[in-house]
């Protein structure tokens, strides 16, 4: 089987190309491996589609970058049943692989190649897919800021998410937006602080926004938080980080959780939502589950973490 490593040289703090090539050269599978270096946004999707149209034998693509690179690859592999999707996480967040306990086993090239292909769901909006999360409100404001500062010194890199959060505290704590999940309006007042529609469990590098989510069960986990005071925001935020926000009885009046297959969103002109961190402008859109839309390569030694059960 051919193993193609799609390397985003702009991902993370440094170009990981030489590190990946060194592992390939030392691997017993080196004759089956090759690297493709992306040239810009969207190139991973373009390359995989082009390759799969020209070759119909089973193939594995490994996204070498962050969640954005993985998302680009997923948008292509979802269209070709003989293409499997893997991840060599070398971005700043690497949120999706935290579902499997973290990056370590994914950074072992031989363990990746020897891994199992398991069917996973994707999130669909129109003709685009997300693999980890689609979110809006405070979160999409944060995502837009992260895109602006991710490579800046001090506030960028691993500090990009908290830096963007600080900015959002002053500019993005209330949004006019209606969210309907499987026919039920979950914010009747038509406002929100944020809403996350998750397939994975983590966003922002370390925030367990969807602690009950499974990426292969045919459901999306929707968490919507009403606008809250700054004092309450800081109280909730620590629980949002460890995943205990859904089970805290003190928050049930303003945190709304629902599993759904179709979520329809209506907002004001200029509204922004984010798919795996990519900001997209739209005042009305529909988010849907795409069950078992691709096969994800889980390396030897990795397994899903246990979800936090309902209280």
% residues pLDDT > 90 (the chain):
79
> Pick from 122, 123, 143, 171: which is nearest to 66 by CA?
143
Specify whether the CB–CB gap between 212 and 309 falls below 8 A.
yes
Give the pairing type, strands 59-65 and 2-7.
parallel
First to last CA, the chain: 45
pTM of the model: 0.92
Specify the DSSP class assigned to residue 43.
H
Alpha-carbon separation of residue 5 from 21, 62, 74, 88, 115 (angstroms): 9, 5, 14, 8, 15
Q: What is the pLDDT of residue 156?
A: 67
Rounded CA gap, 104 and 295, in Å?
A: 20
Q: What is the pLDDT of residue 308?
A: 86
Take residue 14 and report the two structure tokens written for it.
């440094």
Average pLDDT, the chain: 93
CA atoms within a 13 Å half-sphere pointing along the CA-CB vector of 114: 12
Q: What is the pLDDT of residue 151?
A: 66
Q: What is the pLDDT of residue 154?
A: 66
Rounded CA gap, 280 and 140, in Å?
A: 9
Give the pairing type, strands 59-65 and 278-281.
unpaired
- Across the range 172-193, mean pLDDT stands at 95
Neighbours of 126 (CB within 10 A): 12
Rounded CA gap, 125 and 131, in Å?
A: 11
% residues pLDDT > 70 (the chain):
97
Rounded CA gap, 80 and 95, in Å?
A: 24
Q: What is the pLDDT of residue 172?
A: 81
CB burial class (10 A; 0-12, 13-18, 19+) of residue 136?
buried
**What's the pLDDT tens digit per position in 31-84?**
999 999 999 999 999 999 999 999 999 999 999 999 999 999 999 999 999 999
Helix axes 67-77, 43-54, angle to 10 degrees: 30
Strand partners, 223: 196, 257
143: confidence class by pLDDT, cuts 50, 70, 90: confident
> Pick from 14, 13, 73: which is nearest to 38 by CA?
73
Residue 203 confidence (pLDDT) above 70 = yes
Q: What is the pLDDT of residue 37?
A: 97
Lowest-confidence pick of 93-102, 143-152, 221-230: 143-152
93: confidence class by pLDDT, cuts 50, 70, 90: confident
Domains and CATH numbers, the chain: 2-120+293-298 (3.40.50.10330), 133-292 (2.60.200.40)
Residue 220 confidence (pLDDT) above 80 = yes
178: confidence class by pLDDT, cuts 50, 70, 90: very high
């Amino acid at each position: 089987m051919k193993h193609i490593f799609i390397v985003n040289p702009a991902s993370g703090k440094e170009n990981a190309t030489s590190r990946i090539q060194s592992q390939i050269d030392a691997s017993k599978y080196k004759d089956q491996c090759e690297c493709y270096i992306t040239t810009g946004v969207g190139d991973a999707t373009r390359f995989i589609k082009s390759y799969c149209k020209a070759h119909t034998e089973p193939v594995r693509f490994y996204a070498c970058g962050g969640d954005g690179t993985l998302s680009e690859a997923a948008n292509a592999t979802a269209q070709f049943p003989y293409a499997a999707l893997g991840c060599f996480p070398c971005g700043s967040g690497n949120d999706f692989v935290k579902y499997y306990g973290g990056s370590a086993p994914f950074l072992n090239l031989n363990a990746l190649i020897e891994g199992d292909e398991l069917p996973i769901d994707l999130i669909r909006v129109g003709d685009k897919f997300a693999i980890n999360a689609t979110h809006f409100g405070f979160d999409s404001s944060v995502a837009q800021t992260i895109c602006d500062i991710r490579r800046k010194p001090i506030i960028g890199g691993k500090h990009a998410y908290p830096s963007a959060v600080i900015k959002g505290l002053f500019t993005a704590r209330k949004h006019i937006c209606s969210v309907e999940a499987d026919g039920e309006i979950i914010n009747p007042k038509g406002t929100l602080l944020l809403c996350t529609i998750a397939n994975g469990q983590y966003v922002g590098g370390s925030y367990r926004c969807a602690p009950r989510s499974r990426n292969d069960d045919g459901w999306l986990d929707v968490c919507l938080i009403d606008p809250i005071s700054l004092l309450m925001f800081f109280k909730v935020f620590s629980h949002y980080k460890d995943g205990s926000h859904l089970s805290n009885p003190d928050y049930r009046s303003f945190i709304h959780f629902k599993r759904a297959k179709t979520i329809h969103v209506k907002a004001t002109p200029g509204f922004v939502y984010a798919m795996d961190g990519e900001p997209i402008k739209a005042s009305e859109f529909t988010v849907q589950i795409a069950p078992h839309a691709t096969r994800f390569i889980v390396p030897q030694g990795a397994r899903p973490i246990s979800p936090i059960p309902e209280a």
